[in-house]
Structure 1
Amino acid sequence: MQSSREADSTGQIILGATPIGNPADASARLIEWLETADLVAAEDTRRLHKLTGSLGIRVSGRIFSYHEHNELSRTAELIEQVRSGATLLMVSDAGMPAVSDPGYRLVQAAIEARVRVTAIPGPSAVLTALALSGLPTDRFSFEGFLPRKAGERKGKLQQMAGEQRTMIFFEAPHRLEAMLAALVESFGPERKAAVARELTKTFEEVLRGSLQELHEWAASSEVRGEIAVVVGGSHGIVRSAEEQVAAVLELAEGGMRLKDAVAVVAESSQASKRELYEAVLAARAGS
Structure 2
Amino acid sequence: MAGLVRSEALPSLPAWEPVPGLYILATPIGNLGDITLRALAVLQGAALIACEDTRVTGKLLKHYGIKARLQRLDDHAPPEVRARVIDEARQAPVVLVSDAGTPLVSDPGYRLVREARAAGVMVTSIPGACAAVSALAMAGLPSDRFLFAGFLPAKDKARQQSLEELAGVAATLVFYETAPRLEKSLVAIAALWPDREVAVARELTKLHEECRTGTAAALAEHYAAHPPKGEIVLLVGPPTESEAPVLDTDALLKAALAEAGPGKAAGVVAKATGIDRATLYARALELKGE
TM-score band, normalised by the shorter chain? 0.7 to 0.9
1:231 corresponds in structure 2 to 236
- In the alignment, structure 1 segments of 5+ residues that lack a partner are 1-9, 241-287
Q: Indicate yes or no: 2:227 matched with 1:219.
A: no
CA contact (8 A) 1:41 1:89 kept: yes
1:129 corresponds in structure 2 to 135
Relative distance call for 1:189 and 1:71 in structure 2 (3 A) is farther
Q: Secondary structure of 2:200's partner? A: strand
How many equivalent residue pairs? 227
Q: Secondary structure of 1:190's partner? A: coil
CA contact (8 A) 2:196 2:240 kept: no
The alpha-carbon deviation at position 95 of structure 1 amounts to 0.8
1:153 corresponds in structure 2 to 159
2:45 corresponds in structure 1 to 36
In structure 1, give the amino acid aligned to 2:41: E
2:253 corresponds in structure 1 to none
1:29-68 → structure 2 map (5 Å cutoff): 29-55=38-64, 57-60=65-68, 62-68=69-75
**Once structures 1 and 2 are overlaid, which stretch shifts more, 153-162 or 132-141?**
153-162
Write out per-residue CA displacement over residues 166-199 of structure 1, whole angstroms, 9 at most, x where no aligned residue. Answer: 010000101101111111122x222101000000
CA contact (8 A) 1:42 1:91 kept: yes
1:69 corresponds in structure 2 to 76
Q: Indicate yes or no: 2:210 matched with 1:205.
A: yes
Report the identity percentage. 42
The alpha-carbon deviation at position 11 of structure 1 amounts to 2.2
Relative distance call for 1:71 and 1:200 in structure 2 (3 A) is farther
CA contact (8 A) 1:15 1:97 kept: yes
Q: Secondary structure of 1:24's partner? A: coil
Q: Secondary structure of 2:33's partner? A: helix
The alpha-carbon deviation at position 136 of structure 1 amounts to 0.4
- In the alignment, structure 2 segments of 5+ residues that lack a partner are 1-18, 246-290
Q: Secondary structure of 1:177's partner? A: helix
CA contact (8 A) 1:161 1:238 kept: no
Write out per-residue CA displacement over residues 33-53 of structure 1, whole angstroms, 9 at most, x where no aligned residue. Answer: 221101110111101111122
Q: Secondary structure of 1:212's partner? A: helix
Q: Distance in 1 between matches of 2:78 and 2:36?
A: 26
Relative distance call for 1:71 and 1:138 in structure 2 (3 A) is farther
The alpha-carbon deviation at position 71 of structure 1 amounts to 5.6
Match of 1:171 among 166, 173, 177: 177
1:115 corresponds in structure 2 to 121
Q: TM-score, normalised by structure 2?
A: 0.75
Q: Distance in 1 between matches of 2:227 and 2:162?
A: 27
2:281 corresponds in structure 1 to none
The alpha-carbon deviation at position 222 of structure 1 amounts to 1.7
The alpha-carbon deviation at position 235 of structure 1 amounts to 2.7
CA contact (8 A) 2:203 2:232 kept: yes
Q: Distance in 1 between matches of 2:242 and 2:168?
A: 7
Q: Secondary structure of 1:34's partner? A: helix
Q: Distance in 2 between matches of 1:71 and 1:233?
A: 40
CA contact (8 A) 1:162 1:238 kept: no
Relative distance call for 1:116 and 1:124 in structure 2 (3 A) is same
Q: Distance in 2 between matches of 1:67 and 1:169?
A: 21
In structure 1, give the amino acid aligned to 2:21: Q
1:139 corresponds in structure 2 to 145
Relative distance call for 1:71 and 1:120 in structure 2 (3 A) is farther
1:264 corresponds in structure 2 to none
Q: TM-score, normalised by structure 1?
A: 0.76
Q: Which has the larger radius of gyration?
A: 1
Q: Indicate yes or no: 2:31 matched with 1:22.
A: yes
Runs of 4 or more consecutive aligned structure 1 residues displaced over 4 Å after TM superposition: none
CA contact (8 A) 2:178 2:232 kept: yes
CA contact (8 A) 2:75 2:109 kept: no
The alpha-carbon deviation at position 73 of structure 1 amounts to 4.1
